[in-house]
Structure 1
Amino acid sequence: MTHLARVLSSSVAVITDRAAEPSAPTGWADLLGCWDGERLALREALRRPADGPVRSPFPRGGATITCGDLTRRMAHEMAIHRLDAESALPEPPPTRYAAAFAADGVDEFLTFLMPRRARPSNRDGTVRVETEGRLWTIALREGEPPALVGEGRPDVTLSGPADDVYRALWGRPNHAATTGDGTLLEPLAAP
């Protein structure tokens, strides 16, 4: 909950171009109130035009980020943390994300988040990520962050239904298949 409160606060800050709120409180009641307030503030901030540029919250900012990019980022941030919250229940519900949403999550991870957050690779290789009807190829070069490329013969393939590949990229329980040298997926590990 503290992590989500900080994510919400920093997202509001970059959209509104202000400083992020101080650290979230530690007591449950105060933390819940802080989270709820930041959630409402983010909802209001995201009413701005989708194509409006915002300050990048990432160390390697990359291309211009828009309010629409952050709307997409928050949808997937909350979806992944929903899985975390549900996994803490004594009997987790069988949540499955729709293929279109999960495929968008894979694309958002690989085209938006990975270039801004991925760790440099410690070796060369080619990674292919496949879902129903979608394919992404990532080049790994020693000392450089992973980069999307048009095509290439893969050294490892991560494949399966979009929901499972989405979960796999985020390091959540999944049934995606890995074919080839799975250690090449390490530079793609979610932050």
Structure 2
Amino acid sequence: MDHPDHLAALRRDAPALLEAIRAAEPTTRVAGCPEWDAIDLAWHIGEVHDFWASIVRDRMAAPDTYVDPERPASPEEVLEFADARARLVVDTLESADPAEPVWTWTDRHDARWVLRRMAQETAVHRADAEALTVRPYRIDPALAADGIDEFLEYFVPAVDDAPPLPGSVHLHCEDTDGEWVVRPAPGAAVSVTREHAKGDAAIRGAANDLLLVLWRRLPLDAVEVIGDRAVAEAFLGRTRTE
């Protein structure tokens, strides 16, 4: 996916996420994040959008000067805050030069990286929000495959205190282009390549399902596992989701 695709996804999913939250009872628990209720989810996504909009808008080289917002007292005020920050992050990223240098927590430091991260963060949390009222929803296959690619690049290779991966894992989207192989590397590291190759374990399924398994929204049984299941479980156990 390219910059316009990520922008279109964010523009679509940010308001739809909040619409889904408004359709739920405020105290409904979020299945994918059971410590949260619906309003906690709204507050979280509002905070995330506020933070990254500020990073890009103010061209921050570091987040030290960012001031955390204070959570409003009422659920409606939380939703109003989240609505405003959804508009802010879309407007900010729409007007930003994709190559604009900004701080990120990775080795990529540009607004393009932030837009992709916001499109993916918002898509997964929209899935959380739609599940509050059990509304049928699936992340677009191309966006979900891009999310898998992002996850494998930024949330897998360097995980503190992770045990070594005991074998290789092949991930394969069945409804769109997308194949990756994760292999053990020296120490506790792993390498990720985009290719079709046999692994000790294969994890196959629709892109939406694979992405939500990686983000712990669905169990491993939601997709097909071929080969050494223990390797697949070890792979998921060493990934980080925050």
TM-score by length of 1: 0.81
Secondary structure at the counterpart of residue 76 of structure 1: helix
CA distance in 2, matches of 1:44, 1:20: 20
Q: Structure 1 residues 26, 52: CA separation in 2 closer, same or farther (over 3 Å shift)?
A: same
CA distance in 2, matches of 1:120, 1:147: 17
Deviation at 1:150, TM superposition (A): 6.1
Write out aligned runs for 1:1-191 (5 A). 1-15=42-56, 16=58, 17=60, 19-46=66-93, 47-56=95-104, 58=105, 61=106, 63-89=107-133, 92-115=134-157, 118-124=159-165, 125-132=167-174, 133-141=177-185, 144-149=188-193, 154-173=199-218, 175-179=222-226, 180=228, 181=230, 182-184=232-234, 185-191=236-242
> Would you say the 8 A contact 1:119–1:187 is kept in 2?
no
Deviation at 1:141, TM superposition (A): 4.9
The 10-residue stretch of structure 1 (124-133 or 69-78) with the greater mean CA deviation from structure 2: 124-133
Secondary structure at the counterpart of residue 137 of structure 1: strand
CA distance in 1, matches of 2:171, 2:186: 20
Deviations along 1:122-179, one digit per CA (max 9) or x if unpaired, are 1233222111342111234586354324677523222112121111111123631123
The letter of the residue matching 1:24 is R
| Bigger relative CO (Cα 8 Å, ≥ 6 apart) | 2
CA distance in 2, matches of 1:126, 1:20: 42
Deviation at 1:111, TM superposition (A): 2.1
The letter of the residue matching 2:225 is T
Deviations along 1:18-68, one digit per CA (max 9) or x if unpaired, are 514334335312211221222222122202011222101x3xx3x223211
- The runs of at least 4 aligned residues of structure 1 exceeding 3 Å deviation read 112-116, 140-147, 149-153
The letter of the residue matching 1:39 is A
CA distance in 2, matches of 1:37, 1:93: 24
> Would you say the 8 A contact 2:46–2:85 is kept in 1?
yes
Q: Number of paired residues? A: 184
The letter of the residue matching 2:98 is A
Gaps of 5+ in 2: 1-41
CA distance in 1, matches of 2:216, 2:210: 10
The letter of the residue matching 1:169 is L
Deviation at 1:119, TM superposition (A): 4.6
TM-score by length of 2: 0.66
Alpha-carbon RMSD across the aligned residues, in angstroms, is 2.5
